[in-house]
Amino acid sequence: MNLSRNEVKRIVLDCLLEIIGDKGPEKIDEQTDPILNLGLDSADGILYALELENRLNIEIPCDLNPLVDDKKHRSRRMGEIVDLLTNLIAKKQEITHV
């Protein structure tokens, strides 16, 4: 599956909206932090990761929570989640096309 960043962004947002339901704001952009701005917590990242895996046809490592950047000790913003997943997709494509 060869997805553009915009297509990944749409899927990331769709999956997020499924998790937050009606409790989210009207506008979610690349600076939105799902934990700080939408009331999610790191445990929500598990369900989010599973849904993203299904929609994007990728495997997200079990030690990687899309909502939390462990190296920076903070939550990720939407743009960072999109970039993370875009990179995972690119790595998968490199491996499968070798």
Q: Where do the structural domains in the chain lie, given as residue ranges?
A: 5-96
Question: Per residue of the chain (98 residues), what is the pLDDT tens digit?
Answer: 588 999 999 999 999 999 988 766 778 999 999 999 999 999 999 999 999 999 999 999 999 999 999 999 999 999 999 999 999 999 887 777 65
Fold of 5-96: 1.10.1200
Per-residue b or e along 2-38, where b marks 16 or more CB atoms closer than 10 Å to that residue's CB: ebeeeebbebbbebbeebbeeebeeebeeebbbbeeb
pTM over 0.75: yes
Tokens for 43, please give them: 């445990």
CA distance linking residue 72 with residue 10, whole number of Å: 25
